[in-house]
Every structure is written in structure tokens, then in C-alpha cells.
A and B are shown apart, each in its own frame.
Chain A
Amino acid sequence: MKNRRAAAEFTLKDANGATVKLADYRGKVVLLNFWATWCGPCGLEVPWFVDFEQKYKSQGFAVLGVSMDEDGWPAIKPYVADHKINYRVLLGNDSIAQLYGGLDSLPTTFIIDKQGKVAFPPHIGLISKNEYINEIEALLGSAQQETSLPAGSGPAVLLAGPAK
């Protein structure tokens, strides 16, 4: 995506009470997911994000799951345990909702590059796992790059992730 804009900075608390800032993740690709325990489509994405955290963490990637549950940690912690969430979960609030467009519907997910900029249009609602994979790998540089070869010079190479 051209003319990437800086992702809005925020400071929230995680399940252990630690203060977490988006700026702490500068230098990493971040999947910033807004969700809630009462959101069925959100729950479908959770196993994917668990996979991503496990697979890409060593490459400089992190999932941040910001819960918009009004009932707070008493609602969130059992869900995190039930679903074996291995990534950092933060408790959202009205302020961050306003920073990220109002969050009228969930899930809403932003993919943020290593410079802290929103790299792709936000995903509002459920999308495919592969779409996330394409975007993450494009930013991590995991996807193979498209190269121009003279005709007949060799086998075709895979395209890189979607150019934005």
C-alpha cells in the first residue's frame, strides 16, 4: 500500500497488568486484532493467530489481540485459557476505539509494518487465513520476490504478496 500512515499510538494493559505500548513493537510486524469474547467470527480467527504467533515470532512478528469486552478481564481471561491463546491480549477502551475508526464491528484487524505504519487496508470482518499469510509474509520478506527474467531464461518464480 502506497503512502502508508502511521498506526495510532496507544498504551493499554495486558492480562498481567503490564503496560503495553504499540511503540514497544517498533521493528516488528504486528497483527493488531480487535475482537471480543462474544464475537463468533472473531473466535474463528483465533487459531490462525495462534499459528501465526508460533510460526513467525522468530522472524520479528507479533500478534496483539485487543479485546473490546465491556466486562473486562473476568470475561476475557477464561476465554484466553479456553482457546489457548499464546499471544498478548490487551484490554481495549473507548479511546483506542476512536483512534482506530470507531470499531463498530468486530473483528477488525490492522497489519502494521516494522516502521509502525499500517501496511494494508484494514480488515473489517472475517477474511481468509491465506490473506493474512500473504500480507504478513510480504512484510517479513518471507514471500519470494517477483523478478523479471528474459524470456526463456529459466523457470517462472512465484509472485510476491499483493502489492499495495
Chain B
Amino acid sequence: MKRGEPAKLILKADVLPGFHVNSDKPRDEFLIPLKLTWDSGVLSAKSIAYPKPEDLEMNGQKLAVFTGTVPIETQFVAGSDAAKGEKTITGKLRYQACNSNMCFRPATIDVHFTAVIE
């Protein structure tokens, strides 16, 4: 990516069959949303866009969830004074998964990618 110009990254999270994760905007205030965050550094995350959630009727409750492959798009910008070369960008993805009968504890996983700044 070029300094001062935006670049897009799509992070794909795979939810195992039979499970769902809450979307980034769950309908119930008590539910834990899917959330991607990036550590501050040489790149700035200008925006993070999640896909449109699915409606899932479960046990009488209407949920906004993600299933299958979940593409999350981040628009990054490298500062005009950013050093050229390869940079490792790190972040975290927090999620909380359930199936129809049970839920699993919220989890946070580390994510990273390598950006080449020209």
C-alpha cells in the first residue's frame, strides 16, 4: 500500500457448522457482539464494516447472527511519513458462539497480517 492512500483488508472468520456468533449489533443488550479491533501503529484503521447479519429464530427469540464465513472489511491508511517496508499489523477478534442448546464462553483471538508500505 502507498503512504497516505487507503487500502482495504478483508478478514474472513469461519463459524463452524451448527454454531452461530452474535453479530456486531445484537438485538439484546446482554448479548456479546462480534468485535474486531486493531492495535494502533503505523496503520490507522479508518473504518471497520461487518456484513449484514442473518435473522435467526431460536427458542422464541429473534437473534441477529453470523454463520458460515464472515467477511469483515477494514479500511486502513498509512501515514504520509510511515516508514517503507513490511509491517506486521496486529489486532483482536472477540466473539461469543452458541448452538441451539448451549452457549460457549466469550473468546478473543489474536489476528495479524503483513502490510507492505511503499
Instruction: Give the docked Cα–Cα distance between A84 and B61 (Å).
Output: 18
Given contacts A40-B59, A40-B63, contact A106 B103 (CB under 8 A): yes
Q: Mark B90-118, 1 if CB is under 8 A from A, else 0.
A: 00000010101111111000000000000
The total of Cβ contacts below 8 Å across the A-B interface reads 52
Residue in B31, B61, B106 whose beta carbon sits within 8 Å of that of A70 in the complex: B106
**A100 interface hit (Cβ, 8 Å):** no
Give the number of chain A interface residues (Cβ < 8 Å). 21
Stretch at the interface among A11-19, A31-39, A48-56, A134-142: A31-39
Assess whether A38 is in contact with B31, with CB atoms less than 8 Å apart. yes
Given contacts A38-B96, A39-B98, contact A75 B30 (CB under 8 A): yes
Instruction: Give the docked Cα–Cα distance between A103 and B96 (Å).
Output: 15
Instruction: Give the docked Cα–Cα distance between A39 and B96 (Å).
Output: 9
Residues of A within 8 A of B63 (CB): 40
Instruction: Give the docked Cα–Cα distance between A83 and B102 (Å).
Output: 19
Residues of A within 8 A of B102 (CB): 39, 41, 105-107, 124-126
Assess whether B61 is in contact with A40, with CB atoms less than 8 Å apart. yes
Assess whether B101 is in contact with A104, with CB atoms less than 8 Å apart. no
Assess whether A40 is in contact with B31, with CB atoms less than 8 Å apart. yes
Q: Mark A104-122, 1 if CB is under 8 A from B, else 0.
A: 1111000000000000000
**Interface residues of A, Cβ cutoff 8 Å to B:** 36-44, 68, 70, 75, 79, 103-107, 124-126
Known: A37-B30, A105-B104. 12 other contacts (CB 8 A): A38-B106, A39-B102, A40-B103, A41-B59, A42-B103, A43-B61, A79-B30, A106-B103, A106-B104, A126-B59, A126-B101, A126-B102
Assess whether A40 is in contact with B58, with CB atoms less than 8 Å apart. yes
Assess whether A41 is in contact with B98, with CB atoms less than 8 Å apart. yes
> What are 8 A-B contacts with C-beta separation under 8 Å?
A39-B103, A40-B28, A40-B59, A41-B102, A68-B105, A79-B30, A125-B101, A126-B102
Instruction: Give the docked Cα–Cα distance between A36 and B105 (Å).
Output: 9
Q: Mark B17-34, 1 if CB is under 8 A from A, else 0.
A: 000000000001011100
